[in-house]
């Protein structure tokens, strides 16, 4: 199952750092982009090549110290077919390096349409009696606003193709509470979504004791994370909001269970553009090394805190 | 503004029928697909060509009797880059025929990520000092689970590039009520989303009196539609659920205002695969004509009901 593969890699790498790939052209070093603009002009083709090459450098630097990568598809989608080609190449390359890939796609729709998204991102599309893969990765993020019959459509691929999903429960953005924190019959909306996730998680528990259906629970709300941990004991948490978005080690520590498992902590900008803040230590020609250094720091911070928690 | 263009086309065509393009390979006539499989094998390339050609036949048959088309991107996305190429070609062809295109993408994410989706589907992506369009259409559907700062990111393109969005308020699927119908402080969640939409709609009111920020309100919940009409007087409703999903003319009539405006009614399967139920009248070689006949029937049913309502 997906979750067993994930936990195995977390233990092998002694790391629950999830590196997010949010390709932003304006943060990629000019000297790195130059050759592609020279060859392809200021085109989507050039951008696709730049993004793929940039991501490969990052992956080469972190593959041995993290269990998985999380490409954010929106940043690829904005560059059209070339951007999505880069998304696919990035995912493929990460998998070749033994990493799991969690596609941050936040899809979700009514029945048959959700199934088409599942075909696109987890499973295979049928062409008459044959099937082919489009953008399939190991797991994706999904949106719960349409309820269970939307989420249900992803279950076939999760169960039969050994894939995973992380359902948005509590997000990291400033207005996340506008709907998610509303109270209905004594429960917050995010708690009600957590109960949905809990039910789906029960159907996908692996040998490791955790489930291939998990939850997105932001680091920017530590108290809520603690409560949610209890509501979804078997669900793995994908935790955004660490670092650039304001979350600290203290904020994320309660996303873990006593066994030191239960959460992967995402950082995107802080890692992949670390060269921008490291100053003299790593210049723009060493953005990959800067990313590795930052990942090691993050891994150590979290592992140190986990050591204290497990004592 | 987008909404003025939409209302103008509704009045010109005397039609509030929104034809949904949900390309499903299994419903496209075998005789139509054959030549593409012969040329390209059972490949995504073949499927992309089939879908584009099929959609063009439908568009050719309905362009003069509907204001807009609604391609559902999930059904394209599952066929990878070739599928998304077909999405772009379909949108382009519809626009060349003078139709507006509403991309049913249901995107939504945290701040900068939502902005990337807006670049992808409404605006333009920046490549250094230049900009290019990826999949830009006239309007899209968006998901409100992350709150206002997610929706806000689409506003720049809506206001400056004359685009539109329809926010999911109440969807047509069986479990739509699971979160959307929950009550918090005397209001349903969908009513709270409706209030969000109302606020955004006020910022985008066009000469026609309606707004470029609208709402998805399903035909499968007629009583709720009536209440929502009052909560969002200036918002146009995109109404799914008519026909194949069970909604009738009676169910959708209260989505309209007294002026006979305020809603576009979507039908996908019932129109584009009408040949399957028309039997002898239109065989699979005349699926386009069947789609036109079905669209004319739907337009007349709704217009007749509107005539009664306006009396």
Q: Do residues B299 and B14 touch, judged by C-beta distance below 8 A? A: yes
Residue A23, pLDDT score: 96
Alpha-carbon distance B63 to nearest alpha carbon in chain A (angstroms):
25
Higher pLDDT: B222 or B40? It is B40
Residue B220, pLDDT score: 83
Is B117 an interface residue toward A (CB < 8 Å)? Answer: yes
| A128·B25 Cβ contact <8 A | yes
Residue A309, pLDDT score: 82
Please compute the mean of the pLDDT values over residues B39-46 and round it to a whole number.
98
Considering B8, B106, B152, B187, which one is annotated as catalytic? Answer: B106
The pLDDT of residue A278 is above 90: no
Confidence of residue A40 (pLDDT cuts 50, 70, 90): very high
Q: What is the DSSP string of A78-93?
A: TTHHHHHHHHHHHHHH
Confidence of residue A220 (pLDDT cuts 50, 70, 90): confident
Residue A53, pLDDT score: 98
Residue B311, pLDDT score: 72
Gap between the Cα atoms of A218 and A176, Å rounded: 10
Our count of domains for chain A comes to: 1
Alpha-carbon distance A193 to nearest alpha carbon in chain B (angstroms):
8
Give the residue carrying structure tokens 């036949």.
Answer: B57
Gap between the Cα atoms of B118 and A246, Å rounded: 25
Contacts of A255 (CB under 8 A, 6+ apart): A217, A219, A225, A229, A237, A239, A262, A263, A265
Confidence of residue B192 (pLDDT cuts 50, 70, 90): very high
Question: Which of B80, B113, B145 has the CB atom closest to A143's CB atom?
Answer: B145
Considering A8, A45, A56, A106, which one is annotated as catalytic? Answer: A106
Is 0.90 exceeded by the ipTM?
A: yes
The first and second tokens of residue B6, run together, are: 């939409």
Question: Which of B111, B168, B173 has the CB atom closest to A111's CB atom?
Answer: B173
Is B194 an interface residue toward A (CB < 8 Å)? Answer: no
Is B176 an interface residue toward A (CB < 8 Å)? Answer: yes
Gap between the Cα atoms of B111 and A240, Å rounded: 13
Please compute the mean of the pLDDT values over residues A180-200 and round it to a whole number.
96
How does the average pLDDT of chain B come out, rounded? 96
Q: Do residues A291 and A61 touch, judged by C-beta distance below 8 A? A: yes
The pLDDT of residue A153 is above 90: yes
Contacts of B182 (CB under 8 A, 6+ apart): A182, A184, A185, A189, A192, B188, B189
Residue A157, pLDDT score: 98
For residue B21, count other CB atoms closer than 10 A to its CB. Answer: 26
Confidence of residue A118 (pLDDT cuts 50, 70, 90): very high
| A135·B77 Cβ contact <8 A | yes
Please compute the mean of the pLDDT values over residues A255-283 and round it to a whole number.
92
How does the average pLDDT of chain A come out, rounded? 96
Calculate the CA dihedral of residues B79, B85, B91, B96 and round it to 10 degrees: -150
Residue A245, pLDDT score: 75
Residue A274, pLDDT score: 96
The pLDDT of residue B99 is above 90: yes
| pLDDT tens profile B49-65 | 999 999 999 999 999 99
Enter the DSSP assignment of A268.
S
Gap between the Cα atoms of B219 and B242, Å rounded: 6
| pLDDT tens profile B251-297 | 999 999 999 999 999 999 999 999 998 767 889 999 999 999 999 99
Chains A–B, number of C-beta pairs less than 8 Å apart: 221
Residue A253, pLDDT score: 94
Please compute the mean of the pLDDT values over residues B210-219 and round it to a whole number.
96
Residue B281, pLDDT score: 83
Confidence of residue A221 (pLDDT cuts 50, 70, 90): confident
Contacts of B247 (CB under 8 A, 6+ apart): B172, B218, B219, B220, B222, B239, B241
The pLDDT of residue B188 is above 80: yes
The pLDDT of residue A280 is above 80: no
Interface test with A, best of B74, B187, B269 (most A CBs within 10 A): B74
Domain assignment of residue A110, given as a range: 2-310
Q: Do residues B180 and B190 touch, judged by C-beta distance below 8 A? A: yes
Gap between the Cα atoms of A72 and A23, Å rounded: 8
| A110·B172 Cβ contact <8 A | yes
Helix ranges, B29-79 (H): 30-40, 44-62, 73-77
Please compute the mean of the pLDDT values over residues A72-82 and round it to a whole number.
98
Chain A hits for B147, Cβ within 8 Å:
173-180
The pLDDT of residue A65 is above 80: yes
List all residues of chain B from 213 to 252 with a beta carbon under 8 Å from chain A. 240
CATH assignment at residue A214:
3.20.20.70
| B74·A193 Cβ contact <8 A | no
Enter the DSSP assignment of A140.
E
Percent of all residues in chain A with a pLDDT value above 90, rounded to a whole number: 91
Interface test with A, best of B20, B175, B188, B196 (most A CBs within 10 A): B175
Q: Give the three-state DSSP class for B161.
A: coil
Residue B219, pLDDT score: 85
β partners of residue B21: B71
| B72·A22 Cβ contact <8 A | no
| A74·B127 Cβ contact <8 A | no
Active site residue A230: no
The pLDDT of residue B245 is above 90: no
Residue B71, pLDDT score: 98
Prediction pTM value: 0.97
Gyration radius from chain B CA atoms = 19
Confidence of residue B247 (pLDDT cuts 50, 70, 90): confident
Chain B hits for A84, Cβ within 8 Å:
81, 84
Confidence of residue A223 (pLDDT cuts 50, 70, 90): confident
Euclidean distance between the first and the last CA atom of chain A, given in angstroms as a whole number: 30
Confidence of residue A222 (pLDDT cuts 50, 70, 90): confident
Residue A243, pLDDT score: 82
Reading phi first (left if > 0) and then psi (alpha if -120 to 50, else beta), residue B85 is in alpha
Is B162 an interface residue toward A (CB < 8 Å)? Answer: no
Q: Do residues B248 and B300 touch, judged by C-beta distance below 8 A? A: no
Please compute the mean of the pLDDT values over residues A244-256 and round it to a whole number.
88
Gap between the Cα atoms of B265 and B252, Å rounded: 8
| pLDDT tens profile B63-78 | 999 999 999 999 999 9
Is B22 an interface residue toward A (CB < 8 Å)? Answer: yes
């Amino acid at each position: 199952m997906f979750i067993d593969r994930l936990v195995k890699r977390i233990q092998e790498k002694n790391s629950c750092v999830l590196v997010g790939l949010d390709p932003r052209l304006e943060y990629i070093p000019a000297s790195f982009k130059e050759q592609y603009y020279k060859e392809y002009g200021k085109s989507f083709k050039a951008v696709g090549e730049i993004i793929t090459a940039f991501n490969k450098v990052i992956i080469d630097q972190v593959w041995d110290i993290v269990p998985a990568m999380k490409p954010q598809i929106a940043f690829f989608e904005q560059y059209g077919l070339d951007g999505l080609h880069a998304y696919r190449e990035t995912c493929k390359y990460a998998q070749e390096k033994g990493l799991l890939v969690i596609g941050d796609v936040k899809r979700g729709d009514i029945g048959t349409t959700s199934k088409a998204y599942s075909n696109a991102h987890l499973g295979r599309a049928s062409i008459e009696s044959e099937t082919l893969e489009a953008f399939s990765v190991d797991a994706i993020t999904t949106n719960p606003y349409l309820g269970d019959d939307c989420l249900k459509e992803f279950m076939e691929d999760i169960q039969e193709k050994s894939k995973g999903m992380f359902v948005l429960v509590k997000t990291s953005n400033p207005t996340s509470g506008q709907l998610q924190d509303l109270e209905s019959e004594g429960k917050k909306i995010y708690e009600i979504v957590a109960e949905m996730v809990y039910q789906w998680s029960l159907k996908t528990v692996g040998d490791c004791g955790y489930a291939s259906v998990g939850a997105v629970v932001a680091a920017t709300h530590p108290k809520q994370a603690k409560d949610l941990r209890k509501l979804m004991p078997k669900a793995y948490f994908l935790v955004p909001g660490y670092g650039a978005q304001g979350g600290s080690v203290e904020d994320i520590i309660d996303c873990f269970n006593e066994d030191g498992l239960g959460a992967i902590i995402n950082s995107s900008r802080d890692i992949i553009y670390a060269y921008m803040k490291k100053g003299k230590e790593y210049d723009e020609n060493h953005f990959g090394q800067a990313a590795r250094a930052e990942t090691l720091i993050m891994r150590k911070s979290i592992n140190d805190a986990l050591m204290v928690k497990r004592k």
